[in-house]
Amino acid sequence: LTPRQAPERCGAVPTSVRGVTLHRLPRIEDPRGNLTFGEVTRHIPFEVRRYFLVFDVPGEHIRGEHAHRTLEQFLICVHGSCRAGADDGRNKEEFVLDDPSIGLYLPPMVWGVQYRYSRDAVLLALTSDLYDADDYIRDYQQFLAEIRGGT
Amino acid sequence: LTPRQAPERCGAVPTSVRGVTLHRLPRIEDPRGNLTFGEVTRHIPFEVRRYFLVFDVPGEHIRGEHAHRTLEQFLICVHGSCRAGADDGRNKEEFVLDDPSIGLYLPPMVWGVQYRYSRDAVLLALTSDLYDADDYIRDYQQFLAEIRGGT
């Protein structure tokens, strides 16, 4: 399966995974240095309460592998590249995050993984809430049970 | 003048420049990849309304060179390194941003510059409001006049 490409022009596209959208953020190219930006709520559909940065990930390692019950996330690979997978229990897709002007919005109740980090990759996540261990679903069968209303 | 170093331990230190603080954010080191994070309001003293990323800056180029009348900013060099200068019209300091767990808080009415970008540097700015051209003071004499109440 070919990963879905981010749109060339500024804007967001829906995906086959429920609620997941792939974004091209504004870019301002300039010989003195390039700039890209995102605004709450025009580009990022939630109030940002926390960010985290993941870096120095060994290339073979898979990160993520969980869903959130309520948390919303907006992922940007701000340097280097990685791939992100999203899965709503019915449909799954893979995305290439290889440019700081590409954003991936992950709503609650989507199983997310990130992998194939380049050595120099830095992944920025903007999130809608503070860390809460109880918001994580770390078992895929449990995730399927919860989306099917089986808990 | 030696640049002020970020604290080794998680926390913030005041500087000689009015309102400017230098932060060491939490770090979680892990062989599967490292993580650092910041929370609104525990680490970042404002609601985040916008972010921007600056990258591919030629090494000789100086960015910034302006003050904001009302905008608050929190700067993190998320890959590579750069230096940041801050000046309140009376005191000025230089800071080395060379680690994704170092943050620099710039309040309104501080003249800011960024320079000595490494080739691979990516500077993340979290900001308290959307872009507003009228919030910028781009002339240093005008900046001095405004902080002295001389507008």
pLDDT for B51 equals: 98
pLDDT digits (tens, 9 = 90+) for B92-116: 999 999 999 999 999 999 999 999 9
To 10 degrees, the CA torsion angle through A27, A29, A35, A41? -20
Q: Which residues are A94's β-sheet partners?
A: A85
pLDDT for A84 equals: 97
H-helix segments, chain B: 140-147
Rounded Cα–Cα distance for residues B123 and A35 (Å): 9
List CB contacts of B105: < 8 A, sequence separation 6 or more.
B12, B19, B20, B21, B22, B23, B44, B45, B72, B73, B74
* Pair type for strands B63-68 and B92-97: unpaired
Q: Closest Cα of chain A to B49: distance in Å?
A: 5
φ, ψ at B107 (rounded to 5°): -80, 175
Rounded Cα–Cα distance for residues A147 and A151 (Å): 9
Contact A63, A55 (CB under 8 A): no
**A78 closest CB neighbour out of B33, B34, B78:** B78
pLDDT for A76 equals: 98
Q: Say which DSSP state A4 is in.
A: B
φ, ψ at B146 (rounded to 5°): -70, -40
Rounded Cα–Cα distance for residues A57 and A80 (Å): 11
Nearest to A86 by CA among A104, A62, A100, A99: A104
| Chain position carrying tokens 């405004």 | B146
Find out whether the peptide bond into B41 is cis, omega within 30 degrees of 0.
yes
Interface touch A100/B122, C-beta < 8 Å: yes
Please provide the size of chain A in residues: 151
Label residue B80 by pLDDT band (50, 70, 90). very high
**A53 closest CB neighbour out of B58, B100, B120:** B100
Rounded Cα–Cα distance for residues B101 and B145 (Å): 35
Identity at A130, one-letter amino acid code: L
Angle B6-B7-B11 from CA coordinates, rounded to 5°? 110
Contacts of A122 in chain B (CB under 8 A): 78-79, 100, 122
Contact A26, A36 (CB under 8 A): yes
Other Cβ atoms within 10 Å of B150 Cβ, number: 9
Greater confidence, B32 or B46?
B46
Integer CA distances (angstroms), A94 to A15, A16, A82, in order: 10, 11, 11
pLDDT for A150 equals: 56
Interface touch A120/B53, C-beta < 8 Å: no
Interface touch A33/B120, C-beta < 8 Å: no
pLDDT for A60 equals: 81
pLDDT tens digits in sequence order for chain A, 151 residues long: 688 889 999 999 999 999 999 999 999 999 889 999 999 999 999 999 999 999 999 988 888 999 999 999 999 999 999 999 999 999 999 999 999 999 999 999 999 999 999 999 999 999 999 999 999 999 999 999 999 985 5
Nearest to B40 by CA among B133, B103, B96, B109: B103
Nearest to A68 by CA among A108, A106, A105: A108
Rounded Cα–Cα distance for residues B118 and B100 (Å): 14
Query: Mean pLDDT for chain B?
Result: 95
pLDDT digits (tens, 9 = 90+) for B114-144: 999 999 999 999 999 999 999 999 999 999 9
pLDDT for A5 equals: 87
Contacts of B54 in chain A (CB under 8 A): 33-35
